[in-house]
Amino acid sequence: MSQATVKRDHPWLMRTYSGHSSARASNELYRTNLSRGQTGLSVAFDLPTQTGYDSDHPLARGEVGKVGVPINHIGDMEALFDQIPLGQMNTSMTINATAPWLLALYIAVAERQGVDPAALQGTTQNDVLKEFLSRGTYIFPPQPSVRLTTDLITYTVQHIPKWNPTNICSYHLQEAGATPTQELAFALSTATAILDAVRDSGQIPAERFPAVVGRISFFVNAGIRFVEETCKLRAFGRMWDTLARERYGVSDPKQRLFRYGVQVNSLGLTESQPENNVQRIVLEMLAVTLSKNARARAIQLPAWNEALGLPRPWDQQWALRMQQVLALETDLLEYGDVLDGSPVIEAKVQELIDGALAEIAQVDAHGGMVACIDNGYVKRELVQSHTRRMRNIESGELQIVGVNCYQESAESPLTAGEESGIMKVDERAEREQIASLQAFRAQRDSTKVAQALQQLRSAAAGGSNIMPPSIECARAGVTTGEWSAVLREVFGEYRAPTGIDIAPLNLAGSDALEQVRARVRCTGEELGRPLRLLIGKPGLDGHSNGAEQIAVKGRDAGFEIVYEGIRLTPAQIARAAQEEGVHLIGLSVLSGSHLELVEDILSEMKTAGIADIPLVIGGIIPAEDARRLQAQGLKAVFTPKDIDMNVIMDTMVTIIRAANGLDPAA
């Protein structure tokens, strides 16, 4: 049969999640990607932008332009979309706590381009509940956070009808260790919590409510167990349909469709033998494309070097080509649903649905999703699942090729290049961004800025929709930091539960664990008191998995653990170490700003008079930086390839022994 006669389905939207350095540099990248066949934009913002700080805020140091693009004001946003006609673009923005603000900037730029905001298409992630559970870029307490989320939803439903106001994310839950059942349950509980809040806000007339339900989309994960993952997506579709019909009375089946985008699993992508990640990514992509009735609307893929650092344009191109090969070369898009009618698939789908319903009942029993943020129930469940996963990797029950089996490898040409296979962000980016921000501030009309902020404050305090005054702020030249500071004052700031207070999993303990325990105990006795360990997450980095797992393992190995969660300043960490009298400080940094943060922490430790406490670090640390850190006095650097946490614990005991004049080998 010749290709021309076959009717093929339209491929999904192909995206690459990207942004770095500055609006100008990211704009160039976007235009290149679009010219290479990418069909939508997916904007990554840097951490200060995501957590509501301007580039010149002290907490932004080292983070500006690193993991995404810094957007401080309308000028930056305009540069980001220079020569990209917003009226024709479909733009996805991974933005949450500051989502109303970034959308306001987007709308203001559209106005400047002469585009009617009502015609805009795209997505704001705007799912703040999962920020507390996994992603970490929350700012305000749960209640006001939900209110901002619902304000954005009600606004776009009324004024930008084609906008996807929120993308309920189960993606990040899997990245924090969730099982498929947990992913289903927690994402659907989040969706109902948000929809209930929209309904109860009274901003939407009842007859328009089905349209709101119809605008809800999802952002889902797909792991390596791709058969089960396909079933999970079929389960999602069915459960959402039921919920929409029964809970919200939506009669139009189109408005009950489970619309979702995907980023496939990155947690399982390895630092060891990173070329194997390509196979993993492709198989995971199958999970979300195979079944036509449960196929993704949009896909973005990680790159082969995910666990090494940020991808270069070539790495991202490779990931995009994987999608193109599947969509264009294979016959996937020529058939109806190839899984319909399979009793095996059907049974698995039902099993997942039953499990998810039971878990949803648990969430309800704990007061619903919003209450579960503050009481820590869901976070503990996630940490528990991740602990189980780590234990299974350690025991070999869960096999990962190149990590705990088939570790031997010929030398890889992929990582041999000069940049050691990752992208380096230009160190000048931060300085240049700060300079341009200060120039922007100097030329704007400060009376207009003050007035716009005043309106924002009254809306926040009074309860009217936050979007109109935010758009006014955008036009007036307000900055990201100023917008957020006003809301911080009105709503307050929040620290989420860490979830590490779970019961020990392996009561008996493996031989390796028993040995470490004995060593921790003996060393404690020799030093006169139990060993204490402070685990610190400095900077704006929200990657908490590693810190949590080290904390739980440390407790199980016999350490007394002090861990206060993410986003602490170097001064807070040094102070806690002193107050708590710890034997060792372990930092966890995955954001790429380890060099700046370690420098600050060393200096704070000196000021506090605790420079003699040994310091170690774990996270995404390129080899060259690891050498630099060790030269500055760090006693060890751990990276994802250090998968055996018993060995990590043992190393830390050795370091403590050496630092306290005991025989390190004993």
String marking each residue 246-285 x if it binds ligand B12 according to CB under 6 A:
--------------------xx-x----------------
Asked whether 588 and 535 are in contact (CB, 8 A), the reply is yes
CB of 471 to ligand B12, least distance (A): 24
Dihedral, 356, 565, 546, 193 alpha carbons, nearest 10: 20
Residue 507 in contact with other proteins, rule: CB under 8 A: yes
The reply on whether position 556 binds other proteins by CB under 8 A is yes
Give whichever of 356 and 584 is closer to other proteins, judged by the CB atom: 584
The set of residues, in sequence order, having a beta carbon less than 8 Å from that of 627 and lying 6+ positions away, is none
551 binds, among ligand B12, other proteins, ligand GDP, none (CB under 5 to 8 A by kind): other proteins
175 binds ligand B12 (CB under 6 A): yes
Distance CA(652)–CA(654), nearest Å, equals 5
619 binds ligand B12 (CB under 6 A): yes
Cβ–Cβ under 8 Å, residues 69 and 22? yes
Contact with other proteins (CB under 8 A): which of 214, 313, 468, 509? 509
The correct pick among 543, 583, 635, 657 for binding ligand B12 (CB under 6 A) is 543
- Choose the stretch contacting ligand B12; rule: CB under 6 A; options: 107-115, 305-313, 440-448, 524-532: 305-313
Q: Does 625 bind ligand GDP (CB under 6 A)?
A: no
Q: Which of 427, 414, 413, 172 is nearest to 312 (CA)?
A: 414
What is the x/- site pattern for ligand B12, positions 61-90, by CB under 6 A? ------xx----------------------
Q: What is the DSSP letter of 69?
A: B
Closest CA to 148 of 186, 197, 190, 187: 197
Smallest gap from Cβ 501 to other proteins, in A, equals 6
Report in angstroms how near the CB of residue 552 gets to ligand B12 at its nearest: 11
CA 544 distance to own-chain centroid: 10
C-alpha span between 429 and 615 (Å, rounded): 29
Q: Which of residues 417-456 bind ligand GDP (CB under 6 A)?
A: none
Q: Which listed range, 149-157, 168-176, 192-200, 413-421, lies at the site for ligand B12 (CB under 6 A)? A: 168-176
Q: If DSSP states are collapsed to H, E and C, what string results for 72-106?
A: CCHHHHHHHCCCCCCCCCEEEECCCCCHHHHHHHH
Nearer to ligand B12, 232 or 543 (CB): 543
Judged by beta carbon, residue 100 or residue 499, the one nearer other proteins is 499
Task: With CA atoms as reference, report the closest residue to 125 among 160, 99, 163.
Answer: 99
Residue positions annotated with a catalytic role:
17, 171-172, 537, 541, 543
Min. distance of Cβ 595 from ligand B12 in angstroms?
11
User: Residue 274 or 481: which CB sits closer to ligand B12?
Assistant: 274
From 111, 228, 241, 374, residue interacting with ligand GDP (rule: CB under 6 A): 374
Residue 595 contact partner, candidates ligand GDP, ligand B12, other proteins, none, CB within 5 to 8 A by sort of partner = none
If contact means CB under 5 to 8 A according to the sort of partner, which of ligand GDP, other proteins, ligand B12, none does residue 565 touch? other proteins
Rounding to the nearest 10 degrees, give the CA dihedral for residues 194, 199, 200, 205: 150
Give 471's DSSP letter.
Answer: H
3 state DSSP class of 219? strand
Q: What DSSP assignment string belongs to 571-608?
A: HHHHHHHHHHT-SEEEEEE-SS-HHHHHHHHHHHHHHH
Chain length of the chain? 666
* Separation in Å, CA 228 to CA 181, 225, 344, 346: 10, 6, 11, 11
Q: Which of residues 536-555 bind other proteins (CB under 8 A)?
A: 551-552, 554-555
Q: Which is nearer to ligand GDP, 130 or 348 (CB)?
A: 130
Separation between Cα atoms, residue 286 and residue 343, nearest integer Å: 20
Which one of 32, 39, 375, 630 is in contact with ligand GDP (CB under 6 A)? Answer: 375
Give dist(CA 501, CA 661) in Å, integer: 33
Footprint of other proteins on residues 283-342 (CB under 8 A)? none
- Closer to other proteins by Cβ: residue 529 or 627: 529
Residues 6+ apart with CB under 8 A from 164: 122, 123, 124, 215, 216, 217, 259
CA distance 97 to 94: 10
The correct pick among 70, 497, 592, 619 for binding other proteins (CB under 8 A) is 497
Could you say whether residue 549 binds ligand B12 (CB under 6 A)?
Answer: yes
Identify what 348 binds: ligand B12, ligand GDP, other proteins, none; CB under 5 to 8 Å per kind. none
The answer to whether 63 and 117 have CB atoms below 8 angstroms apart is no
Return the residues of window 357-396 that contact other proteins according to CB under 8 A. Answer: 375
Residue number with the shortest CB distance to ligand GDP?
Answer: 374
Residue 504 binding partner per list other proteins, ligand B12, ligand GDP, none, with a CB distance cut-off of 5 to 8 Å that depends on partner kind: other proteins
Which three-class secondary structure state does DSSP give residue 128? coil
Site string for ligand B12, 123-152 (x = CB under 6 A): -----------xxxx---------------
**561: contact with other proteins by CB under 8 A:** yes
- Quick one: tokens of 473? 């702020």
As measured in angstroms, the least distance from the Cβ of 520 to other proteins is 8
Contact 460, 97 (CB under 8 A): no
E strands, 406-543, in order: 532-536
Please say which residue, 327 or 363, places its beta carbon nearer to ligand GDP.
363
* Least CB distance to ligand GDP at residue 290 (A): 42
DSSP 373-394: HHH-HHHHHHHHHHHHHHHHHH
Mark residue 524 as left, alpha or beta (left: phi above 0; alpha: psi -120 to 50; beta: remaining). Answer: alpha
Q: How far, in Å, CA of 121 to CA of 522, rounded?
A: 63
Q: Which of 29, 213, 216, 562 binds other proteins (CB under 8 A)?
A: 562
590/595 Cα distance (integer angstroms): 11
Region of 11 please: left (phi>0), alpha (psi -120 to 50) or beta.
beta
| Contact region with other proteins (CB under 8 A), list: 149-157, 317-325, 586-594, 608-616 | 608-616
What does the buried/exposed string (b/e) look like for 262-291 if buried means 16 or more CB atoms within 10 Å of the residue's CB? bbbbbbbbbbbbbebbbebbbbbbbbbbbb
Q: Choosing among ligand GDP, ligand B12, other proteins, none, which partner's interface includes residue 541 (Cβ < 5 to 8 Å by kind)?
A: ligand B12
One residue of 109, 473, 590, 615 binding ligand B12 per CB under 6 A: 590
Nearer CB in complex with ligand B12: 331/418: 418
Least Å distance, CB 651 to ligand B12, is 8
Least distance between ligand GDP and beta carbon 495 (Å) = 10
Q: Which residues bind ligand GDP (CB under 6 A)?
A: 374-375
Q: Which residues bind ligand B12 (CB under 6 A)?
A: 44, 47, 67-68, 94, 134-137, 172, 175-176, 266-267, 269, 306-307, 309-310, 535, 541-547, 549-550, 586, 588, 590-592, 616, 618-620, 638-640, 642-643, 645, 648
Q: Which residues bind other proteins (CB under 8 A)?
A: 375, 495, 497-498, 500-501, 504, 507, 509, 517, 520-521, 525, 527-530, 551-552, 554-565, 569, 571-572, 575-576, 578-581, 608-610
